[in-house]
Amino acid sequence: MAFGDSDLPAFFAVMGEPAVVNGQSMSVFVDMCESPWVHGNGPGSMSEAVTKITAPITAFVSLPIAGQSVTVRGASYTVKNRTMPGDGRIVELELKAQ
């Protein structure tokens, strides 16, 4: 059985977590990972903790932009960056702690 874009709302409803993005409630996937941070061409590198949320594009009345507020897991953030990987049917928001 193949899965398609029409299945996204069901996936997020069952496996997602509640979030509020710019005043709009929705169900999202939360990813707290580390991202490499390299300064210039010098030796070595560091990593920084990054919080991202992922949601289907259809969950938004209008797509979020940098600086808009996000509340997830009881913490407040703002949108730092927005990407639409793959076929553009989902949106990944990189968050910045307030």
Phi-psi sector, 93: left (phi>0), alpha (psi -120 to 50), beta: beta
Give the pLDDT of residue 41. Answer: 66
Q: Residue ranges per domain, the chain?
A: 5-97
The CATH number given to 5-97 is: 2.40.10
pLDDT tens digits, residue range 1-53? 567 777 888 889 899 999 999 999 999 999 998 777 666 666 666 777 889 99
Write out pLDDT tens, residues 72-85: 999 999 999 999 99
Pair 93, 79: CB distance under 8 Å: yes
The predicted structure's pLDDT at residue 45: 67
